[in-house]
Structure 1
Amino acid sequence: MTVRWGILGTGGIARKMVAAVRARGGEVVAVASGDAARARAFADEQNVASAYGRHHDLLARPEDVDVVYVATTNDRHHLDAMACVEAGVPVLVEKPFALDLERAEAVVAAARTAGTFVMEAMWMRFQPGFVEAERRVAAGQVGEPLLVQADFGIAALPDTDRRWFSRELGGGALLDVGIYPLTFVTSVLGTPTRAAALGTLADTGVDATVSVAMRHGQERLSSWSCSFVADTGVEATVAGREGSLRLHGPFHAGGRLSLRRGSTVVEEHALEGPENGFEHEVDEVVHCIEGGRSQSERMPLALTLTTMRWLDELRRQVGVVYPHEDGSGTV
């Protein structure tokens, strides 16, 4: 069947999703924004039939869509996801799933009660490079993985009006880019048992740079960083006694791997994938919906909640407080 998608939000990532859905034979039938003119402009530009000037108006006729992609700002993710669950519409929620664990747990509990499909759009876990790295680690190419290192740092323009630096919109490096190395190290080494973080804050109060050390059980360690002001690159390494496997930048979306023994590269492997990479998570959503599943085995809700729990702890350690947490906001 042709899967009909609705999209909440009109930013750049929504445009990428339109292209990915169409590349996989799906149809984007509706878009919604908090601004009617913006929704109409997006619909006209992308050739989408219906446009709504309020987010949840898209859900007024839930029978008209098969799944909704939430591409709104971070502060709205839990609200829009919950609206989809309450309407009985399967939903793919852009990361971060919510601003904090409490909100994430509320959405997940509602979805489980309703039996509605919900998945966080952690597209990295579906990328060919990530899947191949997982396969090689499981095959013992580096021995038991003992240390994972990852960086996701970009030098963004210090625009306090931009969502990335807005406390009100749930900005900060951890939630927007730190979620990738956190998910990566957890995927490879297992759930963290201890973490220590140091960070610097932007003038707006959100985290600009964070450096993290984690323990994953007795012998496994990870170190990773994220930044909106330091251009660290976006690469990751998994190391064991037999060697190391490097995912070259950008590690969350790239398709080039190198295997090292000591300081010698013994193998390089390049993978080709779709143009924007979102097609893989589109495939997973369609697979789950057509199979009547309420969650993805590849991106389970338990992993989303584990990630959210540690994001909360790391934010606490570096001193980031969002408006709903200090009483200055209500969302």
Structure 2
Amino acid sequence: MTLRWGILGTGDIARAMAAAVRARGGEVTAVASADLARARAFADEHGVLNVYGRHHDLLARPEDVDVVYVATTNDRHHLDAHACIEAGVPALVEKPFTLDLERAEEVAAAARTAGVFVMEAMWMRFQPAFEEAERRIAAGQVGEPLLVQADFGIAAVPDRDRRWFARELGGGALLDVGIYPLTLVTSLLGTPTQAFALGELADTGVDASVSVAMRHGEGRLSSWSCSFVADTGIEATIAGSEGSLRIHGPFHHAGRLSLRRRDTVVEEHDLHGAQAGYEHEVDEVVRCLEAGRTESERMPLALTLTTMRWLDELRRQVGVVYPHED
């Protein structure tokens, strides 16, 4: 199936997705931005025919696109997802799905009622490293998984005008990079039952660094951190009764796994396909739409809602409040 994609937003991730769509044989046929000049520049760069200076104008002719990728700022995701659903157009919504659980539940309910495909673009879950880690854990290579540790920290220059640090745009480390370790530990250990978070806020009021400890039922714990100011690396380790599995950095699209027992690395495994990046989630969208699905089994809305529920709780604990919550 050759899908015609529309893209809302023109940032770096939209550019990467446009390349991934083309690499998988799809077409980007429309782009929209609040800045018409940016939309035109994007269209010139990627050979896009239809250009719009207002986001939802792209949806005025829903018969011209088969699916829309929502790559706008975090604060707009729920608005743009709703617009796609109302137009009857499937949507791949960049993470975080929305700013909070209430909005996420509203989008999910609208999609389910309308029977329109919607999926959060958590590309990590479609990566070869993630799938290989799941396979090895299921095969008992580390015994019962009991502890997951992960870090996702990058040292960005604090800038109140940059989306990452802008409270009005839904900035903060938790929603942008903390969502990866949270999704990882939830996927591998099960839904959290308890969480404790400590955080440091930027002067804009968003979280700059957060450390989290979680319980995932009896005997299963996780500890993870995220940061926009500390260069922690981006690695993860899953430990069990028989050994541990290291997902080398960057763990959300790693190219290597290591299996360790006691003090010895017993296997190093290089993975193929990590370089494909966003192409794996493009494949999932195509697969779901070809099958007539309104949700992905691999990235269901239920997982998105669970993740958002705990992001809300962690934000509450560290004291991050977005303008719509004031």
CA distance in 2, matches of 1:231, 1:263: 26
Deviation sequence 1:11-65 (CA, Å, 0-9, x none): 0000100110011100000000011111111101111111100000000000110
Unmatched tracts of structure 2, length 5 or more: none
Cα distance in 2 for residues equivalent to 1:323 and 1:205:
10
Q: Give identity over the alignment, percent.
A: 84
Q: Which runs of 4+ in 1 moved over 3 A?
A: none
Amino acid of the residue matched to residue 136 of structure 2? R
CA distance in 2, matches of 1:181, 1:215: 14
Offset from partner CA, 1:170-205 (integer Å, 9 cap, x none): 000000000000000000000000000000000000
Give 1:169's aligned residue: 169
Are positions 1:236 and 2:253 aligned together? no
Q: Given residue 154 of structure 2, which amino acid in structure 1 is its aligned partner?
A: I
Tell me what 1:196 maps to: 196
Cα distance in 1 between the residues matched to 2:46 and 2:90:
22
Preserved contact between residue 16 and residue 276 of structure 1 (Cα < 8 Å)? no
Structure 1 residue aligned with 2:266: 266
Is the CA contact 1:207–1:318 (under 8 Å) kept in the aligned structure 2?
A: yes
Q: Which amino acid aligns with 1:242?
A: E
Contact 1:247 1:258 in 2 (8 A): yes
Amino acid at match of 1:10: T
Residue 275 of structure 1 deviates from its aligned partner by 3.3
- What are the equivalent positions in structure 2 for 1:86-235 lying under 5 Å apart? 86-235=86-235
**Alpha-carbon distance, 1:273 to partner:** 1.2
**Offset, 1:262:** 1.1
Aligned mates of 1:124, 1:2 — CA distance in 2: 24
Q: For residue 22 of structure 1, what is the aligned residue in structure 2?
A: 22
Matches within 5 A, 1:2-81: 2-81=2-81
> 2:120·2:299 contact (CA, 8 Å) conserved in 1?
yes
Secondary structure at 2:103 match in 1:
helix
**TM-score, reference length from structure 2:** 0.99
Q: Determine the structure 2 residue equivalent to 1:329.
A: none
Write out per-residue CA displacement over residues 253-303 of structure 1, whole angstroms, 9 at most, x where no aligned residue: 112000000121000001121534100000000000111000000000000
Q: Offset at 1:92?
A: 0.1
Alpha-carbon distance in 2 for matches of 1:173, 1:97: 15
Give the secondary structure class of the aligned counterpart of 1:252: helix
TM-score (structure 1 length as normaliser): 0.98
Q: Deviations over 1:199-227 (max 9, x none)?
A: 00000000000000000001100000000
3-state SS in 2 of match to 1:183: helix
